[in-house]
């Protein structure tokens, strides 16, 4: 099978051997969960429960406040003990609902019994997805029902399932592709149906041949779905790079996949789609890889939304000379201030670095080697963009592609001077957004 790929990119050490052969372990419900009202892109959910109220697992505890929003559900049964700002993995504190377990872990009635889905309309499919609180589980957390509803003038002919999992260390998607193969494929078929797409492509990096084989076997009788091996390269799983690798269509600057007739969903989202539609199960848990040299026994765990990171680290044998905790992987992950932050819908991994590997070298001046230019998957000039922002020339940075950067971190990874280019680019984007907000307020 030929390997598909894109221009640019890098190949950082994978370190997937730590967890790729470890089966998913279901963790018990924690004593309490902290469920943030902001776990997705768009408007935060609004609480519909009160302090002291008894809730069941799967019960809606916060409703969507707009079209680009999704509800939140109780991930265990128990009592609401507080609704207050709490530490959030995105930084700072955000409004959250804290539920104390009653030890019963009782589901809402009618959840979990598999139904036939053949007679469901497209609108019914989208409605069940929205009601289940689904948001992209690859990390971006964009509301799934919105993504499956492109405008009529931009029809989708190709649905793509992302099984690349190119971020080093992480293997939660790999294990899902092996352990929930049929549910993923059935969920993908519903995604294709909801979009009215002509074909479905599944892309899997070639370092996961067992997953590619399992998926190919599961859809061997479906002529509209094809499985492709992808070259092992970072960021192979990024939307625009995956679309180019599989279709040779280029998403325009400032555009979206729908502009070229494509839509990309993560394999974890596909499994959640099947659970939401066929079993009416809302999103109350997800699979998380806990890995890195800073934990004793790395592994893959199915954990409740709202569980503290400390439960995951304890399940992985505890900390070992820990230097830094990151939600996600080393390339695009977010450093965390403590283990008290909760698992959210977009938490694919918790990586713990030890003291030696968490040290950040001091950046040096750019030596104009152009390595960042050679590997940039977006065909940008990262060092120049970062320099413009650093010297307060954000307008110039915007003109040469500041907003096109997807912050994959490849430029900083290959830079021999260890320049913090992604740091400056993120800062520049914040300045652009603030300026635009100020301009709208003044108009």
Q: What domains can be seen in the chain, in order of their start residue?
A: 1-26+109-359 (3.40.50.11540), 371-442 (no CATH)
pLDDT average, residue stretch 254-282 = 97
| Range list of β-strands (E), 37-176 | 46-47, 54-55, 60-63, 72-73, 78-87, 93-101, 158-163
Q: Residue 139 — very low, low, confident or very high, per pLDDT cuts 50/70/90?
A: confident
Distance CA 64, CA 278 (A): 22
Contact between residue 287 and residue 302 where contact means Cβ atoms under 8 Å apart: yes
Is residue 359 over pLDDT 90? no
Distance CA 138, CA 178 (A): 17
pLDDT of residue 90: 93
Distance CA 198, CA 195 (A): 9
CA pseudo-torsion sign 17, 21, 22, 23: positive
Distance CA 434, CA 432 (A): 5
Cβ atoms within 10 Å of 412's Cβ, excluding its own: 22
* DSSP letters spanning 336-379: ES-S-SBP-TT--EEEEEETTTT--PPP-------HHHHH-TT-
Is residue 1 over pLDDT 60? no
Distance CA 427, CA 390 (A): 9
Residue among 107, 83, 77 nearest 34 (CA)? 83
Question: pLDDT tens across 180-226, in order?
Answer: 999 999 999 999 999 999 999 999 999 999 999 999 999 999 999 99
CA 390 to chain CA centroid, Å, is 29
Question: pLDDT tens across 378-419, in order?
Answer: 999 999 999 999 999 999 999 999 999 999 999 999 999 999
Question: pLDDT tens across 51-73, in order?
Answer: 999 999 999 999 999 999 999 99
Strands across the sheet with 46-47, in order? 46-47, 60-63, 72-73
Any idea what DSSP says for residue 280? -
Is residue 164 over pLDDT 70? yes
Mean pLDDT of all residues belonging to the chain: 95
Is residue 305 over pLDDT 90? yes
Is residue 97 over pLDDT 90? yes
pTM beyond 0.85: yes
Contact between residue 385 and residue 327 where contact means Cβ atoms under 8 Å apart: no
3-state secondary structure at position 130: helix
Q: Judging by DSSP bridges, how do beta strands 158-163 and 199-205 pair with one another?
A: parallel
pLDDT average, residue stretch 355-370 = 89
pLDDT average, residue stretch 352-358 = 88
Structure tokens at 194: 């909801």
Distance CA 278, CA 314 (A): 33
Distance CA 402, CA 388 (A): 10
Residues with Cβ within 8 Å of residue 181, at least 6 apart in sequence: 214, 215, 217, 218
Q: Residue 26 — very low, low, confident or very high, per pLDDT cuts 50/70/90?
A: very high
pLDDT of residue 141: 85
Distance CA 296, CA 248 (A): 43
pLDDT average, residue stretch 157-180 = 98
Contact between residue 271 and residue 283 where contact means Cβ atoms under 8 Å apart: no
pLDDT average, residue stretch 18-39 = 97
């Amino acid at each position: 099978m030929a390997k598909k790929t894109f221009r640019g990119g890098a190949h950082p050490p994978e370190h997937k051997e730590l967890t790729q052969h470890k089966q998913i372990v279901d963790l018990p419900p924690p004593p309490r969960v902290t469920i943030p009202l902001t776990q997705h892109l768009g408007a935060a959910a609004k609480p519909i429960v009160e302090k002291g109220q008894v809730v069941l697992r799967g019960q809606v505890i916060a409703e969507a406040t707009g079209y680009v929003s999704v509800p939140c559900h109780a991930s265990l049964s128990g009592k609401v003990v507080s609704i207050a700002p709490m530490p959030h993995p995105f930084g700072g504190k955000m409004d959250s609902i804290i539920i104390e377990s009653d030890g019963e872990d009782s589901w809402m009635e009618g959840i979990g019994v598999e139904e036939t889905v053949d007679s469901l309309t497209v609108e019914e499919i989208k409605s069940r997805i929205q009601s289940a609180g689904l948001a992209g589980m690859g990390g971006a957390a964009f509301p799934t029902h919105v993504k499956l509803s492109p405008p009529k003038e931009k029809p989708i002919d190709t649905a793509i399932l992302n099984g690349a999992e190119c971020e080093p260390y992480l293997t939660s998607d790999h294990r899902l592709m092996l352990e929930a193969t049929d549910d993923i494929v059935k969920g993908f078929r519903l995604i294709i149906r909801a979009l009215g797409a002509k074909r479905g492509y599944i892309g899997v990096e070639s370092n996961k041949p067992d997953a590619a084989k399992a998926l190919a076997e599961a859809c061997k009788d479906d002529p509209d779905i094809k499985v492709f091996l992808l070259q092992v390269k970072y960021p192979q799983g990024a939307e625009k790079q995956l679309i180019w690798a599989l279709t040779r269509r280029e998403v325009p600057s400032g555009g979206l996949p729908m502009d070229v007739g494509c839509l990309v969903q993560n394999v974890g989202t596909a499994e959640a789609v099947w659970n939401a539609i066929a079993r009416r199960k809302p999103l109350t848990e997800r699979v998380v890889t806990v890995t890195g040299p800073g934990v004793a026994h790395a592994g893959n765990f199915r954990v409740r939304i709202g569980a503290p990171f400390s439960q995951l680290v304890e399940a992985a044998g505890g900390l070992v000379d820990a230097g830094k905790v990151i939600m996600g992987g080393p390339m695009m992950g977010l450093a965390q201030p403590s283990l008290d932050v909760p698992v959210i819908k977009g938490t694919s991994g918790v990586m713990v670095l030890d003291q030696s590997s968490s040290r950040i070298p001091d950046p040096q001046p750019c030596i104009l080697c152009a390595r960042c230019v050679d590997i940039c998957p977006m065909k940008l000039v990262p060092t120049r963009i970062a320099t413009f922002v650093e010297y307060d020339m954000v307008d110039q940075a915007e003109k040469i592609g500041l907003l096109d950067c997807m912050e994959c971190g490849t430029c900083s990874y290959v830079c021999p001077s260890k320049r913090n280019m992604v740091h400056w680019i993120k800062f520049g984007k914040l300045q652009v957004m603030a300026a635009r907000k100020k301009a709208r307020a003044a108009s």
